[in-house]
Amino acid sequence: MACALALAVLAAQAAATPAPASPPAAPARAATYPLYGEVVSISDTLLVIKGGKGKPDRRFEVTPATVFKSGKQAATLKDVKPGRWVGGLIRKSASGGRDLVVSVNVDVTQKGGAPSAPGGSSGPAPAPKKKTS
């Protein structure tokens, strides 16, 4: 009799326990991503950034809402020059067109070097380090 009662209690608990939830859905891709690169050209509507080695240039849509800055100071579209390295934020296009430039910072440092100067020259390349034995 005790055995039957124990089985009844276990059966009731199993029926009351909800089924495990399905695994969580994969997280959605971020709506924005960072911008970093050398400016090929810029207009009121288009920013072109040099592509990586063997890759095509990247094209982004500039809008009236695009924010331009130089460090913490305000800047303008005219401060963005071909050859200059810039950073910023890009918003993915919801319609499948060109991604949108949210912000551009013209006061960035080229990877491994000094702040870039208009015209793409950030000064002489640093001398390679010598190995010491």
Per-residue pLDDT of the chain (133 residues; tens, 9 = 90+): 554 555 555 555 655 555 556 556 555 567 999 999 999 999 999 999 999 999 999 999 999 999 999 999 999 999 999 999 999 999 999 888 999 999 999 988 877 765 555 544 444 444 445 555 5
Beta 46-49 vs 58-61: how paired, if at all?
Answer: antiparallel
Beta strands in the chain (DSSP E): 32-42, 46-49, 58-61, 67-70, 73-74, 85-91, 100-105
CB 90 within 8 A of CB 33: yes
The CATH number of the domain covering residues in 32-105: 2.40.50.320
Question: Cβ of 118: how many Cβ atoms within 10 Å?
Answer: 13
CA distances from 48 to 28, 40, 67, 80 (A): 27, 5, 16, 11
* Stated pTM of the model: 0.64
Report the run of H or E that residue 61 belongs to, with start and end.
strand 58-61
CB 61 within 8 A of CB 131: no
